Chains A and B, each alone.
Chain A
C-alpha cells in the first residue's frame, strides 16, 4: 500500500473524523467551566481543522481553485467581522454566523439535487435527509437574518403581525413538504426544489417576524439547533459521520439552551415561537398613567452620596448598559465604591440583555471580578440586606408585576427582587417601556429614584461625584 492510497483510504479518513468529533466533545466539555473554556474552544477548533484536512484527502475532492476561492472569501468576510465586532453586538453576530451555516446546508442540498435529480433523491435514505436539510437550512438562514436585523435594529424589534399567522406558516411548511414528496417520488423538475427553498425562506421570515425582540435569544438558540439538525441531515445524505455527529451535538445543545432560556422567562418554547408578547401588550402607561403614582427623579450627586454611605450595593445591569457601552464605567464605579469599603455585587438575571450570559461577557470585558457576579437565585436572598440597588438599563427583569399581577404578560417570570432593598436607583434613558413593551411599577415605587440619561454618562458622573465626597 502506497502512502497516497493509505491516506486516501476511507477508513483512514473516518478515523480522522473520529478524532475530530472526539475533540468537539472534549472541547464542549471544556466550555462548561470558566477556567477550561478557552482551551475547550481551541480544542474544538483543532478538531475542525482535522476534519477539514481529512475531507480534503478524499480522492474525488477537486476543483481546488474553486475551494480556495470559497475559503478565501469566507475568511476575508469572517475574520474581520469576528475580530472587530463589539461585545455588545455579540448576539446578532451569533445569529449571522448561524444563518450562513444554515444557508450553506441549503445550498449544498440544492447543488446535490441539481447533480443527481429526482431519480437520485428517490433513493429515500438519500432523498429524505436532503429534502429535510434544504427546508431546515433555508428556514434557519432567513430566520437568522431576521433575528439579526431585529437585534441590530435595522427593522423594528416589535413583533410584526403576519396575516394568517400560524396557519400561513403551516401552509408554507405544507408547500415545502409537498414539493419534497413530489421530488422523492421521482420528479426532477428543478422548480419543485426551488419552491422548497423559497417557501422555507418565506417561512423563516414569517416565523421570526411576529416574535418580539425580547424573545430573540430563544429564537437564535432554536435556529442554532435547527442548523445543527440540518447539518446532521446533510451528513446522512452525504454519508459523512463527522457531519452527522457534530450536527447532532449542536442540535441537542441548542435544544437544551432553548429550553433553559424559555424556563428562565417562565414561558414554554411553544408560546415563544407562536409569537406575540412584546408589543402586543398595551404600551407604556407613562408617569401618572395606568399604574399611577409619581416618579421621583434624582441627581448623580445624590445617587453618589447614597451609595457612598451604603454597606452593600447591588448593581443590576440590563440591555441598556450594553447599548450605552457602560460596562467600563460601571467597573470604575465598582472600584470607587469598594475603595470606600462598600460591598459591591452584581445581580445577573439569566435573560438580562439579549442572550443568557450576555451581561457576564460584558462585565468580564470590563474586568469585573468573577466572584462579584451573582446569579439570580444567589442574589435574591441578598436584596433584604442591600442598601442601594442600582438598576442600569434593566427593566422587565425587575418588574414586580411578574410576581403579583396575574394578567401581566410576564406574570410568573422569575425576577430580581430589587424592591426588597432599602432604596432603588434606576438609570434609564427615558420613561419608555422595556423590550416586552409593558409598564414597570417599580419606577413608581416610593423607594425608587430615577436618574434619567445615557447610562454611561450617568455612571461616569456618579464616579466623579464619589471622588468629591
Chain B
C-alpha cells in the first residue's frame, strides 16, 4: 500500500477531487494577493520573513509521509526534510517576532 493513498486517508485514490483542489489553489492565490497588496513598505522585511515562516508548513508533508515510508534511505531523507521544515517554521516565526518587537517597543515609547 502506497504512502500517498494512506496519507490521503482514503482507499484507492485521491480524497479531494482534482477540480476542487484547483478551485482551492485559485481562490487562495487571490486571497494572498488581496492580503499582501495592502502592506506598507516599512513592514516588507518582516512580512517577507513572516510569509517565509508560513511556507514552512511543508513540515506537514514530512510528518505525513514518514509514517508510511519504509527503508533507511527514505527515513533519512524524511528526517532531514522534517528538520528543514522545522527550521523554516520555528526560525521564521522567531525572527519575524524579533523584528516586529522593535517596532512595538518604539511605539510604546511614543505614547
B14 shortest CB reach to chain A, Å: 6
Interface size of A in residues (CB-CB distance below 8 Å): 119
Question: Does A116 interact with chain B (Cβ within 8 Å)?
Answer: yes
Verify A251–B29 contact, CB threshold 8 A.
Answer: yes
- Contact between B102 and A108, CB atoms less than 8 A apart: no
Contact status of A361 and B36, CB under 8 A, knowing A63-B67, A100-B87, A104-B85: no
* Closest beta carbon of chain A to B107's beta carbon, Å: 7
A34-B103 contact in complex given A55-B63, A112-B4, C-beta closer than 8 Å:
yes
- B96-111 vs A, CB cutoff 8 Å, 1 = contact: the mask equals 1111111111110110
Against B, the Cβ 8 Å flags (1 = close, 0 = not) of A1-44 are: 00000000010000000000100110111011111011011101
Residues of A within 8 A of B96 (CB): 41
Chain B residues, CB < 8 A from A94? 45, 48-49, 52, 95
How distant is the Cα of A368 from the Cα of B3 in the complex, in angstroms?
Answer: 53
Instruction: Report the tally of A-B residue pairs with Cβ distances under 8 A.
Output: 410
- Interface residues of A, dominant DSSP: helix
Query: Contacting A231 at CB < 8 Å: which of B32, B48, B58, B82?
Result: B58
Contact with A along B57-93 (1 / 0, CB 8 A): 1111111111111110111011111111111111111
Instruction: Report whether B8 and A238 are in contact in the complex, using a CB–CB cutoff of 8 Å.
Output: yes
> B58 touching A243 by the CB < 8 A rule?
yes
Please, which residues of chain A bring their CB within 8 A of the CB of B74?
Answer: 111, 114-115
Measured CA separation A309–B91 after assembly (Å): 46
Q: How far is the CA of A90 from the CA of B73 in the complex (A)?
A: 34
Which residues in A have their C-beta under 8 angstroms from that of B90? 74-75, 78-79, 82
A353 to B54, CA, bound (A): 24
Give the distance in Å from the alpha carbon of A253 to the alpha carbon of B49 in the complex. Answer: 11
A61–B67 touching, CB < 8 Å: yes
**Which of A219-227, A279-287, A408-416 lies at the binding interface?**
A219-227
Residues of A66-86 contacting chain B, CB below 8 A: 66-67, 69-71, 73-75, 77-79, 81-83, 85
Please state if A62 and B35 are interface contacts (CB–CB under 8 Å): no
Q: Are A357 and B50 in contact (CB under 8 A)?
A: no
Q: Contact flags (1/0) for A83-109 with B, using CB distance below 8 Å?
A: 101010011011001101101110110
Kindly list 6 other residue pairs between chains A and B, CB separation below 8 angstroms, not including A71-B86, A252-B28.
A37-B103, A48-B56, A83-B98, A90-B45, A101-B55, A244-B21
A selection of 15 A-B contacts at a CB cut-off of 8 Å is: A31-B47, A44-B50, A74-B82, A111-B69, A112-B4, A115-B65, A125-B14, A231-B55, A231-B58, A239-B16, A244-B28, A249-B51, A356-B41, A357-B43, A360-B43
